[in-house]
Amino acid sequence: MLHLSDRFAGQKSQWQHIDARITHDELAAMVGTTRSRIGFFLKNFNVRGLVKRLPDGTLLVNSGTISTFIATDPNETEPVLQHS
């Protein structure tokens, strides 16, 4: 999601708008999973406030929150430091 938002999004406040029409099948092919898993993860990400889908199909990505989510060890409460 971060890669897509960096590539296709226009920055608007904390949410980046991915205006490119990307289907669940295309997302599945990008990350090597199934369409149904993409739906599962997008729903989970939506509940966590990481992404939103507008009625017109535009995907909103909260890049700051996603970055923190990625850097957080699920067994810890504090983000994990990223090593370059």
- pLDDT tens across the length of the chain (84 residues): 555 555 555 555 678 888 777 889 998 998 899 999 999 999 998 998 889 988 887 888 887 888 788 777 666 655 444 444
Would you state the structure tokens that stand for residue 25, as one six-digit string?
Answer: 């099948």
What CA–CA distance (Å, rounded) separates 80 from 27? 26
Is 22 within 8 Å of 35 (Cβ atoms)?
Answer: no
Assign domain 2-70 to its CATH architecture: Orthogonal Bundle (1.10)
Q: What is the pLDDT of residue 58?
A: 82
**Number of neighbours of residue 10 by Cβ within 10 angstroms:** 9
Is 16 within 8 Å of 5 (Cβ atoms)?
Answer: yes
Is 80 within 8 Å of 73 (Cβ atoms)?
Answer: yes
pTM above 0.75, yes or no: no
